[in-house]
Amino acid sequence: MTRPLLARTANVEQPTMAKLLTRMERDGLIETAPHPGDRRARQASLTRKARAAFPRGLAALAEAEGQVLRGLSKSERALLDSLLRRVLTNTEALNATSEQTCQESSP
């Protein structure tokens, strides 16, 4: 996956993703290689070290989610998820509109 695609998928700015990937490569969690279809781009892939750590990361994420949502019923959790997804959709639409407006108004 290329850096711009990773940034879009993670919903972060490209410089933020670039810094994260630099740290991950330094820590031996990813390897980068030239993109076969684009000489300017590089693609990243997980190393064995990262794949081995993945189950621990998922467990930590599940634990944190449980702590954050403690006290909410199953239906309240579902409602919260639905509402947050709607807010995210609205935010993405607003960002797209803002970007388009900026592009149209620049000389």
pLDDT in tens, 23-44: 999 999 999 888 888 888 888 8
> How many other β-carbons are positioned within 10 Å of the β-carbon of residue 3?
19
- Is it the case that residue 80 has pLDDT exceeding 70? yes
Would you mind telling me the total number of residues written for the chain in this entry?
107
The answer to whether residues 29 and 50 touch, using CB atoms and an 8 Å cutoff, is yes
Q: What is the pTM of this model?
A: 0.66
Q: H helices of the chain, where? A: 3-10, 14-26, 48-68, 74-105
